[in-house]
Structure 1
């Protein structure tokens, strides 16, 4: 069953909408209290009372409109800003002295919430437009604006533009991050499929090509076609970035990779189909020794600790498959007469599996050449698997002295 990567998107602007909702409620209460404690100084208190009735109803009813960017429409923003501007212009009507004295307007700092809604919704350009209208309304309402009025107007204008610019940068960063996560998930899935293809389809095609060539006749033609398909599939797996120049006769990989018997994985597959790999299943563990035991034989010696080596099912299976791929490389490149040794080491922090052979070793530069030709056994079947587990795969080879592959899988104390 293929594993699916999930890309979780996090909205960087949603907290801004929640903060804006709280700001509008608090500033509405503040404006009403300012009027309640100072209503005696109004020449026309009924004008102020009518405006605050509209302001309270509008603020409460439109709370869902400032819950997110989708519900905050242009029509809502237009009406909201209009109410703020009307409140500013009505201030000298309700309080004649306000034109000559540097007192607060009717909506007071509630007006900034309307401007901030423009900034969060549309960025700094929308914020500049809304704050400019507010500035003009303040200058008109004051008649002869004081120094404090100019200071407050400039402060709202600069602050709203700055917040709008920050919102635009945050949105661009969010899109870039989401795209990077999608690319990473797609790359990981592609590597997983490439490993599965390498361990199954490519190996079978290589075996058919080799056996067909040996049998001759019609079987040789079938082997030739299988070899061509193997070359084409390898090119596809490696994304076609490196042209394939080798011939079918050079593409034989020897025997099919010797994997753990299907019976060993029957329980694992059944458990996985039933959701055993679900992240909520914290207690499920597999003994790595039972997965490596079928790999031992007359030419392969397995040395293991006396106690179970417990890993999560997915980690145990991937590590066993990497060991199997390493042994397959020994059989292909060192011959059937080569001997191999598997050493399993278990510690509280990590599990180390070492695969060593007495073959001729790997010539310098051969791994890079093989990867360039599309032979991804070491790159994907071994290193790719360990990389997904958060581990490492180190390969040490000296010509004439064999090869050693050290596989390390870190795990915390909970893994035990």
Structure 2
């Protein structure tokens, strides 16, 4: 469901047309009571024209096009407020004193509905407050408008809540369908890969262990690749949701191998997709440094934790550690792997990265990022 609120937007268009017809009929029936009948007709013309404009704007445009209904909703609120304000110019003092319906009447809550559909409860309440304020400015007495104000506020809350629930439900459905499709594709690939690549890697691992020496090292590497491939086939990459967010925990778990232990929370840790990509890149650079400087078989522990401020990732090994000042010397010599691949990425995200190391105590990179 790309646009779960589409039926409600269609309903808003029908509401706008029907209430326009009703408002026009009421004004025409009482036209001789207006202080400025011509002005009243001009207001009706504005309402008719604006209803046509919003019908186009709220229709949603072409599939895949950018949704501009938020801008239309703001403009709708402004035009509706102007129509209501015109009451003071076109109605007679007797009509205002008798609390006759304002210009627009039941046509005016359409702007509240539009804001509630697009922005949820907050948008509905804000628009309802604007329309209610206009009613109070025009009305002769507060008490007579109290019932209308209550209804407008309730409409903003109820429709806003409904739109939020529908969006979340549609997003959960979309993710479930995507996960099911991805799982079926992984199963298909797993069957094909198991008959070929995984069996060959498994054979290399077993024969290498039997032969030892250089063949044993090749067998160990084949075993790591077999483990990584099995992990990829069973977990898959973390999908991106409709709001451009990904599960960092799922993305990090893909890095697990026989020597890389990844520990993450059981629940999803969602961050903007670009932030997840950058953090995974930082962790990958740290793992590459361990393999390069400690050894291809050195164990590594990756830990993801959720804190009150955000998320924290640690990458720890049990190597000889990094001598003091070595990272700064490497940067001065032009070897910018750590400075650019790790520190630069984290700094661009607005986070911090700390290296805790020392002789014979290993190295631990700690990455902190606020949500």
TM-score of the pair, normalised by structure 2: 0.55
SS at match of 2:86: helix
> Equivalent residues in 2 for 1:170-249 (5 A)?
170-206=166-202, 224=216, 227-239=219-231
SS at match of 1:105: coil
Which position in structure 2 is the counterpart of 1:368? Answer: none
Which position in structure 2 is the counterpart of 1:18? Answer: 10
> Equivalent residues in 2 for 1:5-404 (5 A)?
9-68=1-60, 70-74=67-71, 76-96=72-92, 97-147=94-144, 149-206=145-202, 224=216, 227-239=219-231
SS at match of 1:106: coil
Provide Cα deviations, 1:221-255, integer angstroms capped at 9, x if missing partner: 7975664355223312332889759xxxxxxxxxx
Shift of 1:192: 2.7
Cα distance change of structure 1 residues 206 and 167 upon mapping to structure 2, 3 Å threshold: closer
RMSD: 3.0
The structure with the larger Rg is: 1
Q: Is the 8 A contact 2:201 2:223 kept in 1?
A: no
Cα distance change of structure 1 residues 47 and 210 upon mapping to structure 2, 3 Å threshold: closer
Shift of 1:129: 1.5
1: CA distance between counterparts of 2:167 and 2:201? 49
Runs (5+) with no aligned partner, structure 1 = 1-8, 246-416
Runs (5+) with no aligned partner, structure 2 = 61-65, 233-252, 260-371
2: CA distance between counterparts of 1:181 and 1:166? 22
Shift of 1:155: 0.6
Q: Which has the higher contact order (CA 8 A, sep 6+)?
A: 1
Cα distance change of structure 1 residues 77 and 213 upon mapping to structure 2, 3 Å threshold: closer
Shift of 1:141: 0.9
TM-score of the pair, normalised by structure 1: 0.49
1: CA distance between counterparts of 2:257 and 2:73? 58
Between the two proteins, the alignment pairs up a number of residues equal to 231
